[in-house]
Amino acid sequence: MLTGKTALVTGSTSGIGLGIARTLALHGARVMLNGFGDVAQALGVVREFDPGAAHHGADVSRPADIETMVRACEEQFGCLDILVNNAGIQHVANVEDFPVERWDAIMAINLSSAFHAMRCALPGMKRRGWGRVINIASAHGLVASAGKSAYVAAKHGIVGLTKAAALENATSGVTVNAICPGWVLTPLVQKQVDARAARDGVDDAEAKRRLLADKQPSLRFTTPEQLAELAVFLCSPAADNVMGVAWQMDGGWTAQ
């Protein structure tokens, strides 16, 4: 279904981004990965379906890096059709204890990076009359949790950014939407599981159960593959008129 389309997925060496990149490739897209860590392993996963998959090492906290990455994608693949703004980090602390440097990093990586990537990618999409921007927000784009002020502010911000950009592009053939996952068992969440296990003096399985029970009525993690299929739907012709949504896949988290 995505044959002939090209995709850039930020933060796709791990977790949700890697799941989305792999699934976009499975559906025929040519994919550029981005992110740190085990790049070779991530490329191996995606090259099963897209032998030409590439990686760009941009640090998305740096606007100039983002511009270079978008241009590299356009040059290497000829265009950029699908932009998935997924890179994100977390830090948990109350406002008065929140390290200023962590606040700035979360704003840069979880929010401003999406603005910069869209700023660079939208002109090409509009010229060609087709494009998809998918911003990975969070249940925390819709509701808050204590201790996550920067993350919640950035994710609420990305939901607002998504709506504004969707309206600006409503007649252009480019859609802009957000996906709002609940708990997904990735390295980002495993750190919070570990912290919960240490705090409560329980094992890994019990810490996961408690984390889910606090927020996610389904008591099951959403998987990267499930989120990826939603992203594929948003790229499909059936979603041509889906614009500016913040689509939950959160096991009932935000229905409460």
Q: Please give the residue ranges that form the binding site for ligand NAD (CB under 6 A).
A: 10-17, 34-37, 59-61, 86-89, 109-110, 136, 138, 181, 183-184, 186-189
| CB atoms closer than 10 angstroms to residue 2 | 21
Instruction: Determine what percent of the chain falls in helix, strand and coil, rounding each to the nearest 5.
Output: 55, 15, 30
Nearer to ligand NAD, 105 or 239 (CB): 105
Give the separation between CA 248 and CA 229, rounded to whole angstroms.
13
Closest approach of ligand NAD to the CB of residue 221, in Å = 7
| Catalytic, out of 103, 151, 183, 221 | 151
Residue whose CB is less far from ligand NAD, 135 or 175: 135
**Least gap, CB of 119 to ligand NAD (angstroms):** 17
**Annotation says 151 is catalytic:** yes
147 CB contacts (<8 Å, ≥6 apart)? 92, 93, 94
Given CA atoms 50, 53, 59, 65 in this order, what sign does their dihedral have? negative
Q: Give, in order, the Cα–Cα distances in Å from 64 to each of 39, 70, 119, 124, 175.
A: 21, 10, 12, 18, 25
Nearest to 137 by CA among 231, 33, 21, 202: 231
Of 138 and 177, the one with the shorter C-beta distance to ligand NAD is 138
Q: How far is the CB of 182 from ligand NAD (least distance, A)?
A: 6
Is the CB of 36 or the CB of 233 nearer to ligand NAD?
Answer: 36
Asked whether the beta carbons of 245 and 34 are under 8 A apart, the reply is no
Q: How far is the CB of 228 from ligand NAD (least distance, A)?
A: 11
Please give the positions annotated as active site.
151
